């Protein structure tokens, strides 16, 4: 037997409320991230990710309270991402009870921030989030580039090289979102997932574009991802976590049941 | 009500472990502290730890936590080590170019290596991060109501190889077989994070809070 592939539901949180909508039949208030996280925990989620999309300072304080509340009720690993720009931000989230923080645009702006963070807090709690989009034309060798600002701003950085650099600087895990797939529900970009997973020695979480359970299976088997992250397929009760795990197990993937 | 000292030597977040203890035994007095008196007078002692062993050992020595640990172990009160708090009980770790540890147990802490592979030759990622199966190798009160082979949450790049095989309480496999729990008299220590291992982890913490320190 071996290490289980992890299934990670992701919640977008704004001002302490889940956005993008979550519809659990048996939760009256699906907007409370702690209630939703508890439900996922009961279903057997292996980790939870909160993505803070709040823009204001007040909203940030709310997020800290949300993390504190979640950490005193849900005893599985919690990653918090969104707006992590300084070591102080990291310290605040870890003290509130987060196990890992995910750094995205701050790493693009200043790669050395990743080194500083890993040296200070340990690589085990530093996740670097990468948004990659395919830029090669059909017929050309595959090439993926890092984009910021929700996929609007190209950076000129090669995604695979960037992932390697982040790991060298101390990233303990890579959260890879394949942008061209995100939200269109056609599955992960298997090419870039596999290329990055094979290029780095740390775990890679595949994210973006999950529309059905086969996509989770592809991410693990063809994409060689160590964990699969999904939002809407779980939020809207299209599939439950136990269903997803059973489906993966039947296809030879080790999961925690 | 009973009390437990969670030794705080500044390495990592102790919020989760404190909350998990309060969750399994509401009313338990959790002292997150490095104060020798607070540790000495607690009914139980927990040594946590995350991060690099060199920094951990440096703080353990600077704050006198080494003496507190020795005293707690000698006192016979239930003692639990978690993650780096488990590794620190060994003699030596090869992390950070080699660091001497507390030497409460004979054994070493080794690196998983850069080209770790499973039995099929597939490359394994380091750190060992996620849920892996824990195989109990002896009966112990801390395993009560925990099924053999249960999955616990791990995150580490270095693993323990104990020398005294009869003290090993559980093993795990990740490219290599290694020791993930050790037990002697009133001491129990684990590599995984019970405070992050959902039901089975909370059960282990509950077992610890119910334990009288007798094997």
Residue A20 has pLDDT above 90, yes or no: no
Distances (CA, A) of A37 to A46, A124, A196, B150, B192: 11, 22, 29, 22, 22
Indicate which CATH number applies to the domain containing A142. 3.20.20.70
ipTM over 0.95: no
Contact B156/A at CB under 8 A: yes
- Cβ contact B198–A1 (<8 Å): no
A197 assigned to some structural domain: yes
Question: Structural domain of residue A22, as residue ranges?
Answer: 6-250
A206 assigned to some structural domain: yes
- Cβ contact B149–A1 (<8 Å): yes
Average pLDDT over residues B10-22: 86
What pLDDT score does A59 carry?
75
| Tens of pLDDT, residues B136-175 | 999 999 999 999 999 999 999 999 999 999 999 999 999 9
C-alpha span between B11 and A121 (Å, rounded):
8
A188 assigned to some structural domain: yes
Active site residue A12: yes
What pLDDT score does B14 carry?
84
| Tens of pLDDT, residues B183-211 | 999 999 999 999 999 999 999 999 999 99
Give the residue extent of every domain in chain B.
Answer: 3-97+106-210
Residue A25 has pLDDT above 60, yes or no: no
Active site residue A41: no
Average pLDDT over residues B41-49: 95
C-alpha span between A90 and A62 (Å, rounded):
15
Q: Place A207 in a pLDDT band, splitting at 50, 70 and 90.
A: very high
Number of domains in chain A: 1
Q: Determine which helix (DSSP H) or strand (DSSP E) holds B61, and give its type and residue range.
A: helix B53-62
Tell me which residues of chain A have a C-beta less than 8 Å from any C-beta of chain B. Answer: 1-6, 41, 46, 68, 71-73, 75-77, 94-99, 121-125, 172-173, 201-204, 226-227, 256
What pLDDT score does A23 carry?
66
Q: Which residue of A has its CA nearest to B157?
A: A124
Q: Which residue has the tokens 């918090």?
A: A80
Average pLDDT over residues B22-47: 96
Q: Please state the φ and ψ torsions of residue B96, each to the nearest 5 degrees.
A: 55, 45
Tell me the CATH number of domain B3-97+106-210, given options 3.40.50.300, 3.40.50.880, 1.10.8.80, 3.40.50.800: 3.40.50.880
Distance from CA of A138 to the nearest CA of B (A): 30
List the end-to-end C-alpha distance of chain A, in Å, as a whole number.
Answer: 13
Q: Which residues of A touch B15 (CB under 8 A)?
A: 68, 71-72, 95-97
What pLDDT score does A102 carry?
96
A212 assigned to some structural domain: yes
Contact B20/A at CB under 8 A: yes
Name B30's bridge partners: B4
A1 assigned to some structural domain: no
Residue B19 has pLDDT above 60, yes or no: yes
Q: Place A27 in a pLDDT band, splitting at 50, 70 and 90.
A: low
A141 assigned to some structural domain: yes
Best mutation target among A7, A90, A101, A201 (most B Cβ atoms within 10 Å) is A201
A255 assigned to some structural domain: no
Residue A184 has pLDDT above 60, yes or no: yes
The alpha helices in chain A, defined as continuous H runs, are 33-43, 57-71, 87-96, 105-109, 112-121, 159-169, 190-199, 213-221, 232-235, 241-250
What pLDDT score does A22 carry?
66
The structure tokens listed for B130 are 């996620």
């Amino acid at each position: 037997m071996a290490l289980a592939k992890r299934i990670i539901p992701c919640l977008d949180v704004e001002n302490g409320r889940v956005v993008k909508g979550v519809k659990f039949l048996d939760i009256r208030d699906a907007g409370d991230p702690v209630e939703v996280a508890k439900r996922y925990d009961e279903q057997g989620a292996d980790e939870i990710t909160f993505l803070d999309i709040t823009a204001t300072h007040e909203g940030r304080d709310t997020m800290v309270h949300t993390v504190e509340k979640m950490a005193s009720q849900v005893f599985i690993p919690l990653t918090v991402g969104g707006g992590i720009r300084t070591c102080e931000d990291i310290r605040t989230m870890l003290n509130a009870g987060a196990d890992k923080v995910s750094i995205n645009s701050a790493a693009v702006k200043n790669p050395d921030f990743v080194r500083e963070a890993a040296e200070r807090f340990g690589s085990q709690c530093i996740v670097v989030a990468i948004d990659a989009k395919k830029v090669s034309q059909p017929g050309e060798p595959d090439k993926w580039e890092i984009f910021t600002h929700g996929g609007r701003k190209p950076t000129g950085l090669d995604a695979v090289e960037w992932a390697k650099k982040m790991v060298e600087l101390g990233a303990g895990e890579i959260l890879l979102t394949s942008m061209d797939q995100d939200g269109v529900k056609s599955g992960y970009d298997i090419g870039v997932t596999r290329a990055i997973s094979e290029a780095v020695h740390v775990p890679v979480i595949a994210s973006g574009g999950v529309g059905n359970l086969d996509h989770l299976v592809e991410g693990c088997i063809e994409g060689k991802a160590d964990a699969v992250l999904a939002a809407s397929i779980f939020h809207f009760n299209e599939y439950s976590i136990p269903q997803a795990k059973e489906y993966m197990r039947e296809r030879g993937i080790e999961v925690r049941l | 009500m009973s009390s437990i000292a969670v030794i705080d030597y500044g390495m990592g977040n102790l919020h989760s472990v404190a909350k998990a203890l309060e969750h399994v035994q509401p009313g338990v007095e959790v002292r997150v502290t490095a104060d020798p008196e607070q540790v000495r007078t607690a009914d139980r002692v927990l040594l946590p730890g995350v991060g690099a062993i060199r920094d951990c050992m440096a703080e353990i020595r600077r704050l006198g936590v080494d003496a507190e640990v020795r005293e707690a172990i000698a006192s016979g009160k239930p003692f639990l080590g978690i993650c780096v708090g488990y590794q620190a009980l060994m003699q030596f770790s090869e992390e950070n170019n080699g660091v001497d540890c507390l030497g409460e147990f004979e054994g070493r802490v080794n690196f998983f290596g850069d080209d770790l592979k499973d039995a099929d030759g597939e490359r394994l990622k380091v750190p060992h991060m996620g849920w892996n199966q824990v195989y109990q190798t002896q009966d112990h009160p801390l395993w009560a109501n925990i099924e053999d082979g249960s999955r616990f949450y791990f995150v580490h790049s270095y693993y323990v190889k104990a020398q005294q095989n009869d003290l090993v309480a559980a093993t795990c496999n990740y490219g290599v077989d290694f020791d993930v729990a050790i037990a002697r008299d009133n001491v129990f220590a684990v590599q995984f994070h019970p405070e992050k291992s959902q039901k089975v982890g909370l059960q282990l913490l509950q077992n610890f809070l119910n334990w009288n320190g007798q094997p």
